[in-house]
């Protein structure tokens, strides 16, 4: 009985304890880790992947998967740069264009999966390649920056507007002056919104129901197709938000495949399964998973650990989290039944 | 009626061009007396990114200036496919091949097959271990050295540095040699931290790392970031930490976007050293042309790099790569592998 309690405690709180333990360790070992600014850096470094991870969480909830988020983000990066630098549009047009593009890509993904019956991994894989190529076509593979030469021999005169850069660079005062960057605030807001949506609205619960048993959900009258499409639209929109923030931070339209963004955010969402013993995709877990990776990388960088050890540790954390999720919790639920 | 006149005009134009071309070609050695019959192939390993895009445009403009028929075969980082593409080029019956990047192991034999087939081959930034094949290089060692020399001129030989490096990437390894030498020659230079990543988007990932490093090592006053994506990332971190006045960034490579980043008011990115990739592309074609005409370009052809400082950019109000080329002639054209009979691309 005692053993049983211990195990369920480990499953529920093990990950959070590990997170706190790591923070204490780095605070003692790495000079400069324990400070408000350093904490904000951690949030900032995970804000963009965290936002993408929250979108992936929504597709995981309906038992789907979205491989295209990384390339949606980099397409949004290029699109925002293109609309401001080449088309000389103001910031709000760039933002709206990107959000619309994200929603449209999500819609197409959803329709391919639901209406055309293409398996989710394959449909979004195709979309990923399509976007990686598409984002380079308007500039013939070049990055976008003010002053670049255009095809017709003229140079691009537009600039990233100050309002747009504000999204990536402004920092709000909180206790200390200029402390909390805008992307962190947006990350927290998106996390809160997705969390409330998934846990506390009828729609969110129906999405979980669809994910665990699609047939049963259908029989109780849920519009499965519409919810699935909605999940991909959410994922596309969050990915484009991530891309907008990336563009605002970089201040230029760099070509990039976004594959690392994809992998990091999927890792965060999967690590999230293990948080609080949820054993299922959940917004709180995803945010914690992203933070966990951020704290690890920040601490290791401060201690001069080379990049390959960081990848190694990231992988080790993911494997541990998956063991937590799939082995321990299946054991405990089996024990409960007996 | 109108159409007939148009045809006449076009016809006249073509004949003028033909006369012009033949008058020109008369001065050129065989096989360039009939340049349209000369076929060359560019076999690429790397193609994504500003550098490779610009390299390609250099190859294209120089090939067009010579009037030769250029085929571009792009293996997109597939080493086996790149070797197959050399065979493909051989069966196309090309006269010359430019191998652009690749792996020694996979390209060595393919390159030898091309040489055996009587094809002239040059290699850019890949060592195919073949005496018949000249190596074209932008000197990465020089690139690193010039940047560090400038850092020492600006900061004295006593400073605390952050160094951005990812081992195992050939050009970065060659730039690393210059850094090791500089540290050895100047004991006053302390390397407080070494970091770096190639995670895409590189600038964003490096910015995250640099933030942590600058927080952990507040004494750093110089950052040596010998790759422009690294420098961009460090600059973002420096700006975010509000340290623009305290830190100087020295880097390598340049692009239009880099120029605007260097010229931002108070930018910490004070100098970069670069070779113009399109000039390297032009040199590759000219070297091949020399060989086709039976001349010997030498075993190694080095395109020298140029130091570009923030001060120079500001003083000359340089906004993009075209401005840089016109204000800095040594950046626009390298006097390497030139001959009287080789027409240079129009500027």
pLDDT in tens, B45-81: 888 777 888 899 999 999 999 999 999 998 888 888 8
From the list A155, A250, A297, the residue facing B320 with the nearest CB is A155
Which residues is A180 bridged to in the sheet?
A: A172
The DSSP bridge pattern shows strands B269-274 and B306-309 to be antiparallel
A178/chain B closest Cα distance in angstroms = 10
Residue A158 has phi, psi (to 5 degrees) of -65, 160
Token digits of residue B139: 């000197």
| Residues B256 and B150 occupy one common structural domain | yes
Note the maximum CA span of chain A: 78
Residue of chain A nearest B203, judged by CA positions: A250
Locus of tokens 């090592």:
B217
pLDDT of residue A278: 79
Q: How many CB atoms lie within 10 A of CB B34?
A: 12
Residue B330 lies in a domain: no
Segment-wise mean pLDDT, segments of 10 residues, chain A, 338 residues: 75 84 88 82 90 95 94 94 92 96 97 95 95 88 77 78 89 82 94 95 93 90 93 97 92 79 91 85 93 87 80 88 77 52
Q: Give the Å distances, CA to CA, from B3 to A3, B145, B164, B288.
A: 94, 62, 63, 43
pLDDT of residue A338: 40
Please report the residues numbered 276 through 335 in chain B whose beta carbons come closer than 8 angstroms to any beta carbon of chain A.
Answer: 319-323
Whether the Cβ atoms of residue A229 and residue A110 lie closer than 8 Å to each other: yes
In angstroms, rounded to a whole number, what is the distance separating the alpha carbons of residues B347 and B326? 9
From the list B197, B215, B239, the residue facing A38 with the nearest CB is B215
What average pLDDT does range B263-280 have in this prediction?
Answer: 92
Q: Considering only CB atoms, which chain A residues are within 8 Å of B202?
A: 256
Residue B231 lies in a domain: yes
| Residues B120 and B63 occupy one common structural domain | yes
Q: Give the Å distances, CA to CA, from B34 to A40, A299, B15, B236, B287.
A: 66, 65, 16, 53, 18
More reliable by pLDDT, B128 or B7 = B128
Q: Give the Å distances, CA to CA, from B61 to A25, A115, B6, B282, B285.
A: 58, 48, 29, 7, 9
- Mapping DSSP onto H, E and C, the string for A40-74 reads HHHHHHHHHHHHHHHHHHHHHHCCCCCCCHHHHHH
Q: Is B72 on the interface with A (CB under 8 A)?
A: no
pLDDT of residue B241: 86
Please check the confidence at residue B311 and state whether its pLDDT lies above 90: yes
Q: Which among B235, B251, B274 is the end of a domain?
A: B274
Whether the Cβ atoms of residue B291 and residue B120 lie closer than 8 Å to each other: yes
Residue B334 lies in a domain: no
| Residues B213 and B299 occupy one common structural domain | no
Domain that holds residue B263: 140-274
- Which CATH number belongs to the domain containing residue B144 in this structure? 3.40.50.2300
Supply the mean pLDDT for chain B.
87
Among A211-215, B199-203, B326-330, the least confident range: B199-203
Q: How far is CA A293 from the centre of its chain?
A: 12
Please check the confidence at residue B101 and state whether its pLDDT lies above 60: yes
Contact B255 A145 (CB under 8 A): yes
pTM of the complete model beyond 0.90: no
More reliable by pLDDT, B236 or A32 = B236
Residue B323 lies in a domain: no
pLDDT of residue A220: 87
Q: Give the Å distances, CA to CA, from B187 to A182, B148, B177.
A: 42, 14, 16
What average pLDDT does range B158-172 have in this prediction?
Answer: 89
> Tens digit of pLDDT for each residue in B184-200?
999 999 999 999 988 87
Domain boundaries, chain A: 14-27+44-337
Residue B253: exposure state from Cβ atoms within 10 A (0-12, 13-18, ≥19): buried
pLDDT of residue B11: 47
Token digits of residue A150: 């255009």
Q: Give the Å distances, CA to CA, from B211 to A30, B244, B278, B289.
A: 14, 13, 34, 49
Token digits of residue A162: 């100050």
Query: Which helix (H) or strand (E) segment is A128 a member of?
Result: helix A120-134
Residue B326 lies in a domain: no
| Residues B145 and B267 occupy one common structural domain | yes
Count structural domains, chain B. Answer: 2
Please check the confidence at residue B9 and state whether its pLDDT lies above 60: no
3-class DSSP state for residue A104?
helix
| Residues B263 and B283 occupy one common structural domain | no
| Residues B197 and B289 occupy one common structural domain | no
The interface pTM score, or ipTM, of the predicted complex is 0.76
B49/chain A closest Cα distance in angstroms = 6
pLDDT of residue B178: 95
Residue B190 lies in a domain: yes
Cis peptide before B270 (omega within 30 of 0): no
| Residues B107 and B166 occupy one common structural domain | no
Please check the confidence at residue B7 and state whether its pLDDT lies above 60: no
Q: Is A27 on the interface with B (CB under 8 A)?
A: no
Cis peptide before A2 (omega within 30 of 0): no
Contact A140 B53 (CB under 8 A): yes
Please check the confidence at residue B12 and state whether its pLDDT lies above 50: no
Residue B132 lies in a domain: yes
What average pLDDT does range B96-108 have in this prediction?
Answer: 90
């Amino acid at each position: 009985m005692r053993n049983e309690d211990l195990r369920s405690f480990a499953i529920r709180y093990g990950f959070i304890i590990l997170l706190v333990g790591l923070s204490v360790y780095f605070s003692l070992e790495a000079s400069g880790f324990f400070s408000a600014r350093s904490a904000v850096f951690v949030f900032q470094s995970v804000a963009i992947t965290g936002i993408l991870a929250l979108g992936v969480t929504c597709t995981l909830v309906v038992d789907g998967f979205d491989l295209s988020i990384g390339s949606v983000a980099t397409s949004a990066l290029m699109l925002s740069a293109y609309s401001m630098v080449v088309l000389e549009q103001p910031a709000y047009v760039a933002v709206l264009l990107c959000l619309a593009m994200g929603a449209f890509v999500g819609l197409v993904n959803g329709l391919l999966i639901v209406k055309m019956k293409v398996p989710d991994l394959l449909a979004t894989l195709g979309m990923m390649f399509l976007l990686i190529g598409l984002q380079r076509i308007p500039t013939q593979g070049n990055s976008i920056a003010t002053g670049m030469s255009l095809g017709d021999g003229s140079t691009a005169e537009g600039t990233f507007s100050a309002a747009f850069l504000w999204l990536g660079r402004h920092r709000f005062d909180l206790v200390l002056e200029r402390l909390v960057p805008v992307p962190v605030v947006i990350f927290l807001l998106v996390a809160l919104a997705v969390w409330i949506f998934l846990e506390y609205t009828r729609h969110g619960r129906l999405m979980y129901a669809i994910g665990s048993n699609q047939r049963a959900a259908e029989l109780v009258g849920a519009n499965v197709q519409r919810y699935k499409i909605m999940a991909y639209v959410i994922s596309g929109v969050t990915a484009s938000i991530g891309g907008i923030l990336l563009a605002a931070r970089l201040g230029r339209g760099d070509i990039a495949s976004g594959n690392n963004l994809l992998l990091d955010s999927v890792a965060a969402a999967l690590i999230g399964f293990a948080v609080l013993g949820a054993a299922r995709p959940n917004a709180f877990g995803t945010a914690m998973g992203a933070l966990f990776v951020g704290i690890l990388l920040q601490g290791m960088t401060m201690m001069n650990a080379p990049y390959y050890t960081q990848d190694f540790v990231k992988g080790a954390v993911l494997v541990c989290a998956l063991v937590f999720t799939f082995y321990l919790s299946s054991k405990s639920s089996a024990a409960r039944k007996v | 009626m109108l159409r007939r006149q148009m045809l006449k005009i076009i016809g006249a134009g073509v004949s003028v061009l033909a006369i012009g071309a033949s008058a020109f070609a008369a001065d050129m050695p065989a096989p360039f007396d009939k340049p349209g019959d000369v076929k060359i192939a560019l076999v690429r390993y790397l193609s994504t990114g500003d550098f490779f895009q610009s390299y390609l445009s250099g190859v294209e403009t120089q090939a067009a200036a010579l009037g030769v028929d250029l085929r571009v075969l792009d293996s997109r980082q597939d080493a086996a496919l790149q070797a197959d593409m050399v065979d493909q080029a051989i069966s196309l019956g090309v006269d010359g091949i430019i191998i652009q990047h690749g792996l020694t192991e996979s390209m060595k034999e393919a390159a030898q097959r091309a040489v055996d087939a009587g094809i002239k081959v040059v290699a850019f930034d890949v060592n195919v271990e073949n005496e018949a094949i000249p190596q074209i290089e932008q000197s990465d060692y020089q690139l690193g050295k010039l940047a560090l020399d400038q850092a020492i001129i600006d900061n004295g030989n006593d400073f605390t540095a952050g160094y951005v490096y990812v081992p195992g990437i050939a050009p970065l390894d060659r730039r690393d040699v210059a850094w090791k030498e500089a540290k050895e020659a100047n004991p006053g230079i302390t390397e407080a931290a070494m970091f770096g990543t190639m995670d895409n988007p590189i600038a964003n990932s490096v910015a995250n790392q640099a933030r942590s490093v600058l927080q952990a090592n507040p004494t750093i006053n110089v950052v040596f970031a010998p790759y422009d994506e690294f420098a961009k990332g460090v600059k973002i971190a420096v700006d975010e930490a509000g340290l623009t006045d305290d830190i100087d960034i020295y880097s390598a490579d340049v692009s239009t976007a880099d120029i605007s980043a260097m010229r931002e008011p108070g930018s910490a990115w004070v100098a970069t050293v670069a070779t113009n990739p399109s000039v390297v592309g032009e040199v590759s074609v000219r070297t091949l042309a020399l060989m086709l005409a039976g001349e010997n370009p030498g075993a190694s052809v080095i395109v020298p790099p140029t130091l570009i400082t923030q001060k120079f950019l500001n003083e000359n109000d340089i906004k993009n790569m075209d401005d840089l080329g016109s204000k800095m002639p040594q950046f626009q054209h390298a006097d390497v592998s030139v001959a009287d009979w080789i027409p240079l691309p129009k500027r």
